[in-house]
Amino acid sequence: MEEPAPKRVKLENKVGISESDVGITEFVNADVAGFDGVLKQRYTDFLVNEIDPAGNVIHLLDLGPDVPKPAKDGERQKEDTGEVKTAFEVDQSNKDMLTELVGAEFYEEIESVWKKGGEVVSPESFEEKDRRTQVHVSIRNTFESRLDSKTLDDNKIKVFRSSGESRRNRNQKRPVSQAAKDLAKIVKEKYGEVKDYVHMAVYKENKETMNVASLLGRFLRMNHSQISYAGTKDRRGVTVQKFSLYKAKIDRLVHLNAALKGISLGNFSYEDSEVSLGDLKGNEFIITIRRLRPEQIQDLENGLNNLKEKGFVNYFGMQRFGTFSISTHEIGKRILSGNYKEAVDLILSTEEFVHTPTNESDSAKEARRIWKEERDAEAALKLMPKQRSAEYAVLTVLTKASNDYFNAIMAIPKNLRVMYVHAYQSYVWNCVASERVRRGLQLLPGDMVLENRSDNDGLRQPVKTLTQSDVDSKAYSIYDIVLPTPGHDVEYPADLSVYIEVMNRDNMSPVSMERNVREFSLAGMQRHVFSIAPHLEFKVVRHKNVNDQLVYTDLEKLRSHTASTYRDVEEGDSLSVVVTFQLDSAQYATMALREAMKRDTGRQSAMMAVAVDP
């Protein structure tokens, strides 16, 4: 007996991007009731650990060898030559890090304070809290607490001698370079000879993968091409993933742990090859869902058990479409259509952030307003923070040629340019997948499956189109069905009508996906329509404070020497559930939980209401 087509569930629709805007409309089992709850109230509620190609979950197991401490003031040390040296010297790697953060000119002023006394105030304001923290830590590390710093009301940083430093004999300090030599010796004994690549686990809190890579590049003075990783991870969460660095040294990376805020590096090794994009099997998630309603606990258990047994629709999740009230796929659509002016205007739009409006500085908002109302790129550029890399790049080009919209788009960092057009591919795939789900939860003649069923989704996978005999053979299930994202080098199903209908609305065609710009000429890839969340487990926790952290992060486990997942919390009236499961790469945990909860995962939905971390 054929299963009926799944029922559709009406979800809440609030200001900003909703699921229906990007083609997310269906469920595997709409008859199972959902439940209320909040995701990512704290960033420690969303733990993600990469799974390597061999199936091993990557955890932060160590932070490298301890950094040898320089001798205390007044101690006299002899170098190998036997010459006595007692004057303090700034370590070059620390100097490089601080210079990268504050600029060469301000660094020289800081060093002058150390040598001659007085104080100095930065010429620029440091609007982002993380960057301010990095500057303060780097100043202390570089001058070994001989200098101190504070943030002023306008977010500029004042640097001055630390208390008591003027009374200290500055010429009674062992050169820090000796400590560096000691560390290099320890590293060589532990890790062996230097090879082309350093592999390491990168632990990050509430930061985007690309921002971490950019920060490492600045500190280490590396080109972005020297830094690689297997996949990107969400910002709001605590994640552990594998990175590789070309022509790096472990002893220098160990020093970075003291300077980095919310980032820890460990599990170091020298290797002959790099970590490439896609070098992972998937991810393990430990997710805390808070603010549960006691009367819905049975619905919660039914929903999560149904997710474990029946799976979910493998949509591209809302993260794929950005945090603005204008979806990134709308920008991608303009780029693919060659309408670069509209793409630029959307990037510089005055639309509010959907996620956290205060996340953007007043100067950035004013820059957007100036562009919209006055079309003055030069004035807008002066106010746009460099951290808004896409907007800053676009405005930089437009100050030189006001109508050069194509080159303005091409000035955006490549990873962001490609993100826009991939978002449009994802939007089309979501729409097509929704239509396939509406046709029923059973195999149909004409469905496509991968010829090698052990393969994950990917480029140019050989596919097989099922016949009625294949369907009757019971050799395949709905979890084998794949559909392609639109592209010029991918096999489509025989019935292209849904692709044509969706893309015709945007004046595009699924069979005309080649473009003059290579990175906008999309090949396409096969993606499974349905997926299962294997090894799913959950635990309902009653606790006293609604903001209690319920699980340990990897860094906390390392520091407290515990193997336990759950923290001890006082029992109370607050109700949460901790859900643990694994997914293949490029699958979205929020889409799995959506199936269980039957709630919209848009940024403004009740499910995604984010509180400020205490």
> Largest Cα–Cα distance of the chain, in whole Å?
90
Tokens found for residue 78: 């002899």
Instruction: Indicate the helix (H) or strand (E) that contains 519.
Output: none
> With contact defined as beta carbons under 8 Å apart, do 577 and 288 qualify?
yes
Q: Please list the residues that pair with 286 across neighbouring strands.
A: 47, 580
353 Cβ neighbours under 8 A, 6+ residues apart: 323, 324, 325, 359, 360
Instruction: Assess whether 234 carries a catalytic annotation.
Output: yes
Query: What residue type is 439 in one-letter code?
Result: R
Q: How many CB atoms lie within 10 A of CB 351?
A: 12
State the DSSP string of 104-144. Answer: HHHHHHHHHHHHH--EEE-SS---SHHHHHHHHHHHHHHTT
Instruction: Indicate the helix (H) or strand (E) that contains 269.
Output: strand 263-271
Instruction: Indicate the helix (H) or strand (E) that contains 252.
Output: helix 250-259
> With contact defined as beta carbons under 8 Å apart, do 275 and 199 qualify?
yes
> With contact defined as beta carbons under 8 Å apart, do 183 and 251 qualify?
yes
Listed residue (212, 214, 109) closest to 156, CA to CA: 109
Angstrom distance (rounded) from CA 405 to CA 335: 10
Angstrom distance (rounded) from CA 255 to CA 238: 22
Listed residue (229, 77, 88) closest to 146, CA to CA: 88
DSSP three-state, residue 243: strand
Annotated catalytic residue: which of 66, 154, 196, 234?
234
Residues labelled catalytic: 234
